């Protein structure tokens, strides 16, 4: 009887969600659709000008793009195509006047197992040349290009929301496994999410800074960004020195993520709803806010105040302020305001 009641409750819950989705889709405020597309990424339309091997980019709703790591059979391991395509993708998003917010998630059973070292073994473990200086120069070029793969997310003026389920690993199996020729999946999931502006996760998510287990120091963002994200150097050191797993509740407690959800589906609904909320605001205001938050992270209060004063001496002249104030004085929903492209 209990099982039957539970099954009935699940069906009722799904019907309610579907009904809510249809009503939200039908609602339209002065041309601004606020459909949250609660039916998941499979129902989303492919975004124009975004065709990739390792990524799937869809138009989740008006002004929102959903970027999926799309190698589910390889646990979304990051191969050569990924390094190239992420830079191309986010450079396009930065220039896309229609896009105002982005959600990043992983297809399949986990967010990412990190770097696909088997795919990159020849570049990293067997660099060409026999001169130490030239080999080092070559490796430095590779490292800086990999760093840009995640820095491009941070540089993107549109807010980026990471939606993590399953594993988010900066690391992987031992180098011995690689040398024996067994396919291995490695490194860099934490580097990716720390470059994002907001992080949500499902209850099954876990996080690892796993590079020490493969005999190297993380070099594409984790050691630089994670201390500023969670503000606890002792915990950062512990995670980086031991490669232990951090589970979802601990990630929430230390501030790595801002919310934890029961499963992937609920988390994605929430992430897309958050992106929709952000995208309904003035793009001048939102993107100016991101730029100044990032500047303030790395500068003193005095320097940051001077920077925002210089920034706003031009941005305060936007028509978005007049539109927003008028909506408030007329007791209108801010979602009803149509802001120009930026």
Tally Cβ neighbours within 10 Å of residue 105.
24
Number of H helices, E strands in the chain: 13, 12
Which one from 85, 116, 119, 191 is the annotated catalytic residue? 191
Burial class (CB in 10 A: 0-12, 13-18, 19+), 25: middle
Quick check: 175 and 215 in contact, CB under 8 A? yes
- The Cα 173–Cα 247 span in angstroms is 19
CB 172 within 8 A of CB 117: yes
Q: Which of 108, 167, 171, 172 is catalytic?
A: 171
- For the four alpha carbons of 302, 304, 310 and 315, in that order, the dihedral sign comes to negative
171 is catalytic: yes
Instruction: Say whether 115 is catalytic.
Output: yes
The span from the first CA to the last CA of the chain, in angstroms, equals: 56
Candidate list 98, 154, 219, 265, residue with the active-site label: 219
117 and 186 Cβ atoms separated by less than 8 Å: yes
Structure letter (DSSP) for residue 101: E
Coil, strand or helix at 207: strand
Catalytic, out of 85, 211, 269, 320: 211
Query: Which residue is catalytic, options 93, 115, 198, 230?
Result: 115
Phi, psi (degrees; rounded to nearest 5) at 61: -165, -175
Are 138 and 127 in contact by the 8 Å Cβ rule? The answer is yes
Q: Residue 117: count other Cβ atoms within 10 Å of its Cβ.
A: 24
What does the alpha-carbon distance between residue 83 and residue 146 come to, in Å, rounded to a whole number?
A: 6
Buried b (16+ CB within 10 A) or exposed e, 215-227: eeebbbbbbebbb
Is residue 211 part of the annotated active site? The answer reads: yes
Catalytic residues: 115, 171, 191, 211, 219
């Amino acid at each position: 009887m209990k099982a039957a009641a539970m099954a009935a409750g699940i069906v009722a819950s799904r019907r309610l969600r579907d009904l809510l989705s249809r009503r939200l889709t039908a609602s339209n405020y002065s041309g601004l659709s606020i459909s949250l597309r609660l039916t998941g990424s499979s129902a989303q339309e492919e975004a124009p000008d975004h065709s990739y091997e390792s990524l799937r980019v869809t138009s989740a709703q008006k002004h929102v793009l959903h970027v999926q790591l799309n190698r589910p059979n390889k646990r979304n391991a990051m191969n050569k195509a990924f390094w190239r395509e992420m830079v191309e993708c986010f450079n396009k998003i930065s220039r896309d006047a229609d896009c105002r917010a982005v959600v990043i998630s992983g297809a399949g059973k986990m967010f990412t197992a990190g770097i696909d070292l088997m795919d990159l073994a020849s570049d990293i473990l067997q660099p060409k040349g026999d001169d130490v200086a030239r080999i080092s120069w070559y490796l430095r070029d590779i490292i800086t290009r990999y760093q840009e793969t995640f820095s491009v997310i941070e540089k993107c003026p549109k807010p980026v929301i990471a939606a993590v389920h399953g594993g988010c690993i900066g690391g992987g199996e031992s180098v011995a496994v690689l040398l024996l020729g067994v396919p291995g999946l490695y490194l860099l999931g934490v580097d990716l999410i720390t470059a994002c502006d907001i992080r949500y996760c499902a209850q099954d998510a876990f996080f690892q800074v796993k590079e020490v287990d493969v005999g190297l120091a993380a070099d594409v963002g984790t050691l630089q960004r994670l201390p500023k994200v969670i503000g606890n150097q002792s915990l950062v050191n512990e995670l980086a020195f031991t490669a232990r797993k951090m589970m979802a509740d601990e990630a929430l407690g230390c501030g790595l993520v801002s919310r934890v959800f029961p499963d992937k589906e609920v988390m994605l609904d929430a992430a897309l709803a958050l992106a929709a909320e952000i995208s309904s605001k003035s793009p001048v205001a939102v993107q100016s806010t991101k730029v100044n938050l990032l500047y303030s992270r790395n500068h003193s209060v005095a320097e940051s105040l001077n920077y925002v004063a210089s920034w706003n001496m031009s941005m305060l002249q936007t028509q978005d302020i007049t539109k927003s104030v008028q909506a408030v004085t007329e007791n209108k929903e801010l979602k009803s305001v149509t802001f120009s492209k930026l």
